[in-house]
Chains A and B, each alone.
Chain A
Amino acid sequence: MILTRVTNKSMSNIIINNLLTNRSKLYELQEQISSGKLVTKPSQNPANAMSILSDKSSLSQMENYIKNIEQVQSELEITDRSILSAVDVVHRARELTVQASNMSSGSNELSAINFEVEQLINQVKDLGNTKYGSKYIFGGRVTEDAPFQEVGTNQIQYMGTLSTGNYQREAEIVQGVKVPLNLAGDAVFGQYYESAPGPPPVMTGSGLIQTLATLSQELQTSPPNHDNIRSKIGDFENNLKTLLDSQAQIGGTISRLEMTKSKIEEDVISYTKRKSKLEDIDLAKAISNVQFQETALQASLSVGSKVIQNSLLDYLG
């Protein structure tokens, strides 16, 4: 057996070192438990820290997508509701047209009907000027000013971005996927206005507004041409089809958003779970580690106090 010379100082040094090691381990565990985090500094586990960092940005990005989707959804729901109201207008207008096309309708009745048709034109104009927050949703990219302006009696001109132009406002709902969040007002509601002064004045128009405006003209014609009035029923059918198509388009986008949202929400859960696994401590494990470390510290303390006491001095008379 090789005898090593153990001096009192080296003995106490060893004891102190061991105590320090035990205490610093205990401190580390305590820090983990009190912060609830396994990794508070990248150097504690660089690989995990990098995953945590990238998960953090992904999560924040996803939460932002959800927030944006919800906003887009409520804008689309308002769009949907406006179109639905326009559908009601078409139904009422068709009823009125049927009534007016009846041979027995006299000029008094027709002017009463015309009064209501004019109201309907205004109603469609107001629907076209629906706002979401502070923006007009049917104006294409022109959102600050009301897109449908009354330019003359029963003349409504669409001032927004035309459906033939770049009218689409888009929102990104997941990385690289954009959905249009608006419809061009002229495509949905149409318009009718004098585009060049006459005589005879050149009228430009399309869609529901044109049908309503021309119906109103027919109703004011004396004597009334019932065939012309009747022909509007077919026009209203076409307008209704346009509205229903628009509605289907919006509805499709809404349900697509809903699906995307729930997909992102699932991703958020799984990312959060993964991040938590990397970042958060397992409390049960940590606490039992603390207990283990405490026992180790107690042991070093009691051994230390015993070893350091003994010397030949204790036995000399």
Chain B
Amino acid sequence: MSLFGIFNSHRSILLNQAAINLINNNIANINTPGYSKQRLELSQQVTVDSGVNTTISRTQSGAGAVIDNITRNRDAYLDAYFRKETTGLSFYKELNETASLMEDITNELGDTGINQALNEFYNTAHELSINPNDSIIRNNLVQKAKDLCNKFNLTYDRLDDLRSNLVGDATNPATLSTSKIALDVNDLNVKLSALANINKTICDSSSQGAPPNGLLDQRDILLDQIAEYIPITVTQGSNSLVTVSLNGVDLVKNKEQVGFFNVATGTTSDPATLRILDEDNNIVVANANSSITSGKIGAILEMGGSDSSKLNIYNVLTELNTLAREFSREINTIHQGGQYIDTSVSPNQLALVSAAPFDIFVEQDGVDTATYADLTAGNIKVNQDIIDDVFKIAAAGATSAVNETGDGSNALVMAEFRNTKIAALNSSSTESYLNAVVGNLGIQVKSVQDNYESQDTIVQQISSKRESTIGVNLDEELADLIRFQRSFEASAKVLTVVNEAMQRIINLAG
């Protein structure tokens, strides 16, 4: 009999205490986001050579239990899977957000859209064809033309604002710094540098032998967050370090952030260029846009970009511009083929527009619109000459005599233009072209929504699968608590017994 029994019990008591502490920690963190349940790795204490060559020690050779490690419940495969799908989810989430804003802006189902204004313009032109001399109808037509331009301008401006909020406006580089892409890239850089720091701390504490479970959890949270921005590859290195890379370009390596994201002003069609720099601001990747096809940043780049096969603001703007351009080109051409009422002479006379050409729809700055290259939905407006004198609308045909002001045949041609199919508008009429634009947008928005929903389901499933691995189950902890409580009591009991036995022996000696 030695004091060994007492040590043994003492260790057992400490071990059970540690176990109870761990349970305590698990229960305390039951609602902490990203916390992974920790458990004790126990093993037998094996004594290779007790030094005392007795039968008992040789056969028993046990010296209680020891804590090998405190490990986290974690599944690396699930983590990687979760991150990959999170990247997809935040991609669709961001797409969906912008897409539904676009849909709100271009919604033609209400009574206030461009289509309604177009419709009313044609209707009023039709009325004018019956009463070409009526100044009220002429005023009305000018009003409808102004409404139409306003609707075009408003829709264009709102879409353009949405775009410049996302990726800035190439013609106004100052907008880039306050754009969503710049802010998100800043956040991403902050997270990457935090990751490098945490890598360093983990490395330091691992070298001291303490298992940095809390830090590992924090790093996993950071990795989850980084995965929301861009599609990353995480490689586990030595010393519990991780390397994060994007398409083979390292961003965080060991204890250092080696790739820094930076946004530069691009072109009108792609206003933001994402670059990767090294710590000395040397360019590593001059244009990373094409490699970021997923994640929040990927979604912003896609929505702000100009890929004609994808849903983005640029395409809708282009379609609106085409409509505004073709509409004004055709109406102006019809207008120039007619005669207006010259009220400067008495009695009023018809005069050919072509004699001194002027248009109904012009650009904002009044530049000659002969080529219509610069006319957009954003700057289309009604010619001020026509607003000032509504009789300048050419309602009469070119062949009418100067006193035949009752001729409305040119106004009728304008009204009938609504049914004319224009080659530049995909061989459809102005109204059906717009309907197709809105309808296609609806289809694309729906597909984004559907993708978002199904991606959300996938992430929920993986998340709950992951949660079932890393999460804390109260029942389990309570059962463990009782287990270790009993074990603690038993160890204490053993200690008492050993103590009593020792006392007996000491008394014998006394």
Contacts and interface: CB of A to CB of B under 8 A. Distances in A.
Q: Which of B104, B126, B469 gathers most chain A CB within 10 Å?
A: B126
Interface stretch (A132-140, A150-158, A244-252, A255-263): A132-140
A41 B103 contact: yes
- Chain B contact residues: over half helix, strand or loop, or mixed? helix
Contacts of A159: 403
A4 B412 contact: no
B406 A43 contact: no
What bracket does the count of chain B residues touching chain A fall in? 35 or more
A42 B109 contact: yes
Given A72-B130, A143-B133, A170-B409, A61 B418 contact: yes
Contact of A144 (B348, B401, B432, B441): B348
A37 B110 CA distance: 11
A36 B409 CA distance: 42
Contact of B399 (A41, A133, A166): A166
14 contacts: A4-B468, A6-B468, A9-B467, A39-B109, A47-B439, A52-B109, A57-B432, A57-B435, A143-B405, A144-B133, A144-B348, A161-B404, A165-B401, A176-B419
Contact of B475 (A47, A54, A135, A312): A312
Given A7-B473, A40-B109, A53 B435 contact: yes
Contacts of B443: 42-43, 46
A312 B30 contact: no
Contacts of B132: 143
A133 B475 CA distance: 90
A216 B447 CA distance: 85
Interface of B: 30-31, 37, 99-100, 103-104, 107-109, 115-116, 119-120, 122-123, 126-127, 129-134, 347-348, 396, 399-401, 403-409, 412, 415-416, 418-419, 431-432, 435-436, 438-443, 445-446, 449, 460, 463-464, 467-469, 471-476, 478-479, 482
Contacts of A67: 127
B109 A49 contact: yes
Contacts of B460: 13, 17
Nearest to A165: B401
Given A8-B473, A10-B468, A134 B133 contact: yes
Contacts of A303: none
A181 B409 CA distance: 12
Contacts of A4: 468
A10 B470 CA distance: 10
Interface in A24-60: 37, 39-44, 46-47, 49-50, 52-54, 56-57, 60
A143 B119 CA distance: 28
Contacts of A181: 130
Nearest to B449: A43
Contacts of B116: 56, 60
A141 B395 CA distance: 12
B468 A5 contact: yes
A266 interface: no
A276 interface: no
A172 interface: yes
Nearest to B397: A166
Nearest to A10: B467
A238 interface: no
B445 A42 contact: yes
Contacts of B449: 43
Nearest to A17: B460
Nearest to B473: A7
B30 A8 contact: yes
Contacts of A316: 478, 482
A244 to B, nearest CB: 26
B357 to A, nearest CB: 23
A80 to B, nearest CB: 17
B290 to A, nearest CB: 28
Contacts of B406: 135-136, 139-144, 169
A288 interface: no
A284 interface: no
B421 to A, nearest CB: 13
A141 B407 contact: yes
A171 interface: yes
Contacts of A56: 115-116, 119
